[in-house]
Structure formats: structure tokens, C-alpha cells
């Protein structure tokens, strides 16, 4: 495959989505994030909101997953995972692009020429950012960050059997709180 792909995994609130869009714009290639949810929803027939939630969280929680995965047949989440894998693979075959989240780093590990990036930042930076950018309530943004990251980690572990955020799973990890959003985007662009 001749296309070059950048996958961006990220902690919630670290600016990974924004960084991905900036990199794609600078390189003149498409960035797929919410567009993936739309594509999966159209193909699966499920509502976009359901796809968004189901494609970031481990099916039915850890205990239910241990019993259901493979034993009682595929779940809706397993069905969505298969569609997600196919769509991400097809996008990588079609064109060079940036793909944000959705385990794209894992899905494309043996199928495409990828620069696999993980964006992280400290809790204070991320909490401030989700209040300012996403309009989260200032009462407990840290709790929202912990919950979202915990769910992303469980989903990643469930479908990849790898630890989400572990440096060995990526080519590059960047601290957006220290480096800044624009600097992270520029570093990724330079490595492309």
C-alpha cells in the first residue's frame, strides 16, 4: 500500500482531534474522525449516537464481556467493530489520510504505512480544555476525564488485547499540555 496514514489516539481533552485536523490541513489530506461514525452508522443501520457510544466502550462492561464475547455469539458492538475495521482499512487503501481514534493504530498495524501517534496531557490541562472547548461544567471535569479515558482503555483492551496509551504501541507520544496543540501538529507534520 503506497498511501501514508497517520493514526492519532488520544486522552480525552488532550486536543488529539484538533491536532489531527491541523495536521491533515497542513498536509492537504483528509482527516477522519466523526466522519467514521457517520459511515459506520449508515452501513450498520444504527443511529449515530449509538455508534459513537458503542464504538468507544467495551461491550456490556468487563464482566458481561467476559461471558458474552464468543460464548453467546457476536454482540452489536462486535458487528460494529467489524464494520469499523473494514471502513478504516478501505480508507487507508483509498488515500493518504489522518484517522483519529477508533483503534485505527491497531486495525492498520499490518496493513498500511502508518505513523501511530498518542496524544496525552496532564489532568489540569485537559480539565481546563474540556471546560473551555466542550463546555463541560466546571464542577468536576476531572471525573469526566477519568470516566472517558477508562472507557476508551477498556474498549481498546477488549478489541486489541493491548494497553491503551502504552508508549510501546505507538511510534510517537506527545504531551500537548507541555508542547502545545500547534507544536504537536507541526512535529507530526514534519515526521510525515
pLDDT digits (tens, 9 = 90+) for 96-139: 999 999 999 999 998 889 999 999 999 999 999 999 888 877 67
Looking at the DSSP assignment, which residues form a beta bridge with residue 113? 4
pTM of the prediction? 0.88
Q: Is residue 29 within 8 Å of 98, Cβ to Cβ?
A: yes
CATH 3.40.50.300 fits 4-191, yes or no: yes
- Listed by start position, the domains of the chain span 4-191
Cβ neighbors of 6 (< 8 A, separation 6 or more) are 20, 23, 24, 97, 98, 99, 114, 115, 117, 188, 192
Query: Within its chain, how far is the Cα of 43 from the centroid?
Result: 20
Place of cell 464482566: 63
**pLDDT tens for the chain, residues 1 to 192:** 589 999 999 999 999 999 999 999 999 999 999 999 999 999 999 999 999 888 666 765 444 444 444 456 788 999 999 999 999 999 999 999 999 999 999 999 988 899 999 999 999 999 999 998 888 776 789 998 999 999 999 999 999 999 999 999 999 999 999 999 999 999 999 998
Cβ neighbors of 123 (< 8 A, separation 6 or more) are 142, 145
Amino acid at each position: 500500500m503506497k498511501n501514508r496514514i497517520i493514526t492519532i489516539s488520544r486522552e480525552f481533552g488532550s486536543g488529539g482531534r484538533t491536532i489531527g485536523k491541523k495536521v491533515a490541513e497542513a498536509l492537504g489530506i483528509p482527516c477522519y474522525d466523526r466522519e467514521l461514525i457517520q459511515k459506520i452508522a449508515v452501513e450498520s443501520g444504527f443511529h449515530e449516537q449509538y455508534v459513537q457510544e458503542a464504538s468507544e466502550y467495551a461491550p456490556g462492561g468487563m464482566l458481561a464481556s467476559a461471558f458474552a464475547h464468543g460464548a453467546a455469539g457476536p454482540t452489536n458492538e462486535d458487528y460494529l467493530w467489524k464494520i469499523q475495521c473494514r471502513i478504516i482499512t478501505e480508507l487507508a487503501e483509498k488515500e493518504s489520510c489522518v484517522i483519529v481514534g477508533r483503534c485505527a493504530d491497531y486495525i492498520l498495524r499490518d496493513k498500511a504505512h502508518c505513523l501511530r501517534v498518542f496524544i496525552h496531557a496532564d489532568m489540569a490541562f485537559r480539565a481546563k480544555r474540556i471546560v473551555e472547548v466542550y463546555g463541560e461544567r466546571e464542577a468536576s471535569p476531572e471525573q469526566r476525564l477519568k470516566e472517558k479515558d477508562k472507557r476508551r482503555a477498556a474498549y481498546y483492551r477488549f478489541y486489541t488485547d493491548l494497553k491503551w496509551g502504552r508508549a510501546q504501541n505507538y511510534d510517537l507520544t506527545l504531551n500537548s499540555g507541555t508542547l502545545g496543540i500547534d507544536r504537536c501538529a507541526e512535529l507530526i507534520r514534519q515526521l510525515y
